[in-house]
């Protein structure tokens, strides 16, 4: 019916997040959550904040957390923006830099939220097909006078664009903002963060959801020069002054400060990813070279859709994107060694039967 | 400089929230926070959710909390929308129902975030001057074919629009959405909630920040018929699938379920409001009839600006709006009896000196 809906909203198709099943005892490898719990310091910090303080508004600037991020990443506080998950950070950044009538470019295979934001804000999209091997066709992103959005490592492929190539893109597009979405960078990728002082058109977006095991706390952040950060803040402060609650601010700050725990858990995911890749290749899978906490894998003989259904029946949830070029692949989050051993056994059974 | 800012964002003036002072020991009566802590059940529920579960995304639908609200308010779950504070709920609702080129109407004196949302989304605003006594000029809101936004009780006046008048507005504007922002309704106001089944154009917005002492947790909600709720969900799911974190969902649900605590604390605020009103009137103040957890008061002899500064010097923070028609008033949040006794003493001193 859609009576009363504004005309732009009538035409939207919202983003569909991966399933959050209510059934227990599933092995959940479908939304790229970290298999390890967050640092115990997160629980401590949140526990200390509970009670009386909740009656008060949070600090709208999230200063404690911004300071922790600035220290950890060696930037100034004015170069840090905070949001309610990197999805919100991206939504604000799209509005800050691109308006109705503007066009943005991104690969045809990438995070499927980008075209949704664009439709919401009246921004035109132009997609650039990835190369046959799923790498980014850099030449097609040079001097286009359109905003550019790149997930790096890309999703759902896991492939990283080398930093030299990113620099080419930044230098060939000095007149537009390039948003680099680094949700998965901490699992062996190279962050573009050191480039923000050199390139005033670079916004780097990251999240606590994956590498810091805090998907449930909703904290994302961005780095860029002060001018870009001010623009994103202007949007945020025109929508909602207090996007991060008190518990998210203190919990995320504690996670950032526990560097040893973070490094250790990221290394564990990277180790698991290595042996699972080998094992899948042994079973006849093509596995794209991943720098993320997931694998994008296609079997030479068995259709991905059948594997997806078979795994689901065996109580293992992975993600399947039923679209051209991706419909022969499964996206499999890297879980614990034990979970991944079960996954490999089930895939072996399915492939052989 | 604003290089790279999109053209609409360049022209925005964001909302300025009330000060969140970093100094301790102030009596803070400037942002309408509840003087009482949240229900102890909130702390219990959040503590039980901490740890391992934070690595997982929250339920994007917030089903537990929606169910708790549906039970408490006697509506269907599909009639409930959740957001990160009522500011976010309002921002999504504006986008859902009004688009670029549309016009919305609201009083000249009301929550100052409304024109900010409108500017962000390219919506035209038309303000209707409140009557001399700060009541809403209902006649001017009939049959205008523009969206309507009303804070009820209004802010910063605290005055309630009687439900019969609201019904007239709803009936005379069947072609547009009427948003009723009930942030302050629980302190003696009458909610429009029972009207949602009768008026398909009514969206009622509320918050946990004031009456449930959870400003620091960021939870707002809206009630309306399923069609309106679906539109707001469509916007939300095109910006950020998971706006409420796991702790906010369980904490807010616990607050909703502790009805006795809620009723008790609201009654305490209403009692305090009554004696403070009398006391201020005795000191020569005109106090508008408030149904909110704040008072809007003007002194017959001493300028509000001087009182604001004097209170600040005495360690008491209230809110002062330096704009036509409001610049002779102070907006004073109702605190504890002890805090308000101190306030009255200081005002007495300032008025006499």
Query: Does B242 contact A218 at a Cβ distance shorter than 8 Å?
Result: yes
- List, for residues A263-316, the tens digit of each pLDDT value: 999 999 999 999 999 999 999 999 999 999 999 999 999 999 999 999 999 999
Cα–Cα dist B131/B137, whole Å: 6
Work out the mean pLDDT of chain A and round it to a whole number: 96
pLDDT given for residue B254 in this prediction: 98
Q: Which of A55, A227, A231 sits opposite B215 (nearest CB)?
A: A55
Q: What is the mean pLDDT of each run of 10 residues along chain A (353 residues)?
A: 90 87 86 97 97 94 97 98 98 96 96 96 96 97 95 98 98 97 98 98 98 98 98 97 97 98 98 98 98 98 97 96 94 98 98 92
Query: Which chain B positions have a beta carbon within 8 Å of A54's beta carbon?
Result: 37-38, 42, 213-217, 251
A85-122 pLDDT per residue, tens: 999 999 999 999 999 989 999 999 999 999 999 999 99
Q: Is the pLDDT of residue B17 over 90?
A: no
pLDDT in tens, B209-249: 999 999 999 999 999 999 999 999 999 999 999 999 999 99
Three-state secondary structure string covering chain B: CCCCCCHHHHCCCCCCCCCCCCCCCCEECCCCCCCCCCCHHHHHHHHHHCCHHHHCCCCCCCHHHHHHHHHHHCCCHHHEEEECHHHHHHHHHHHHHCCCCCEEEEECCCCCCHHHHHHHHCCEEEEECCCCCCCCCHHHHCCCCCEEEEECCCCCCCCCCCHHHHHHHHHHCCCCCEEEECCCCCCCCCCCHHHCCCCCCEEEEEECCCCCCCCCCCCEEEECCHHHHHHHHHHHCCCCCCCCCHHHHHHHHHHHHCHHHHHHHHHHHHHHHHHHHHHHHHCCEEECCCCCCEEEEEECCCCHHHHHHHHHHCCEECECCCCCCCCCCEEEECCCHHHHHHHHHHHHHHHHC
Local structure of A241: helix, strand or coil: coil
The predicted pLDDT at position B182 comes to 98
Report the chain A residue with the minimal C-alpha distance to residue B233: A14
Two structure tokens written together for A113: 């939220």
* All residues at 6 or more sequence positions from B60 whose CB lies less than 8 Å from its CB, including other chains: A17, A20, B237, B241, B242
Taking the C-alpha atoms of residue B16 and residue B94, their distance in angstroms, rounded to an integer, is: 19
Q: Across the interface, do B56 and A20 touch by the CB < 8 Å criterion?
A: yes
Looking at chain B, the whole-number percentage of residues with pLDDT higher than 90 is: 94
- Considering only CB atoms, A55 lies closest to which of B213, B241, B248, namely B213
Would the CB atoms of A57 and B20 count as touching at under 8 Å? yes
DSSP calls for A183-219:
TTTTTT---SGGGTTT-TTEEEEEESSSTTS-TTT--
Q: Nearest residue of B to residue A209 by CA position?
A: B55
Of A214, A240, A245, the CB nearest to B216: A245
Nearest to A15 among B200, B241, B251 (CB): B241
Contact call for residues A245 and B46 (beta carbons, < 8 A) = no
Interface contact A228-B176, CB threshold 8 A: no
Does the predicted model carry a pTM greater than 0.80? yes
- The reported pLDDT for the residue numbered B58 is 96
Residues from chain B contacting residue A31 (CB–CB below 8 Å) = 57
Nearest residue on chain B to A241, alpha-carbon basis: B17
Contact B96 A5 (CB under 8 A): yes
B257-288 pLDDT per residue, tens: 999 999 999 999 999 999 999 999 999 999 99
């Amino acid at each position: 019916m859609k009576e009363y809906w504004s005309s732009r909203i009538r035409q939207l198709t919202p983003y569909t997040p991966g399933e959050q099943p209510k059934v227990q005892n599933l092995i959940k490898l479908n939304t790229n959550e970290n298999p390890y719990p967050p640092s115990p310091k997160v629980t401590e910090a949140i526990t200390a904040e509970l009670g009386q303080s909740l009656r008060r508004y949070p600090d709208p600037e999230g200063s404690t957390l911004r300071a922790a991020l600035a220290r950890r990443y060696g930037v100034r506080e004015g170069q840090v923006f905070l949001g309610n998950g990197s999805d919100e950070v991206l939504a604000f950044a799209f509005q800050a830099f691109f308006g109705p009538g503007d066009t943005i470019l991104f690969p045809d295979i990438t995070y499927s939220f980008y075209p949704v934001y664009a439709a919401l804000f009246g921004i035109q999209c132009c997609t650039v097909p990835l190369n046959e091997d799923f790498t980014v066709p850099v030449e097609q992103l040079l001097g286009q006078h359109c905003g550019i959005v790149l997930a790096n490592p890309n999703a759902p492929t896991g492939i990283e664009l080398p930093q030299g190539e990113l620099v080419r893109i930044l230098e060939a597009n000095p007149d537009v903002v390039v948003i680099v979405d680094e949700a998965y960078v901490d699992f062996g990728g190279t962050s573009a963060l050191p480039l923000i002082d050199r390139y005033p058109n670079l916004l780097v977006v990251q999240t606590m959801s994956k590498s810091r095991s805090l998907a449930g706390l909703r904290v994302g952040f961005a780095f860029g020069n002060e001018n870009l950060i001010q623009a994103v803040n202007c949007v945020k402060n025109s929508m909602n002054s207090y996007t991060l609650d008190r518990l998210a601010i203190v919990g995320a700050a504690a996670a950032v400060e526990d560097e040893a725990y973070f490094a250790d858990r990221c290394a564990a995911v990277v180790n698991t990813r290595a042996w699972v890749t080998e094992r899948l290749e042994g079973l006849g899978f093509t596995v794209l070279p991943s720098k993320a906490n997931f694998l994008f894998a296609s079997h030479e003989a068995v259709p991905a859709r059948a594997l997806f259904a078979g795994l689901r029946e065996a109580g293992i949830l992975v993600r399947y994107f039923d679209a051209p070029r991706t419909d022969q692949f499964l996206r499999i989050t890297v879980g614990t060694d034990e979970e991944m051993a079960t996954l490999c056994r089930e895939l072996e059974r399915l492939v052989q039967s």
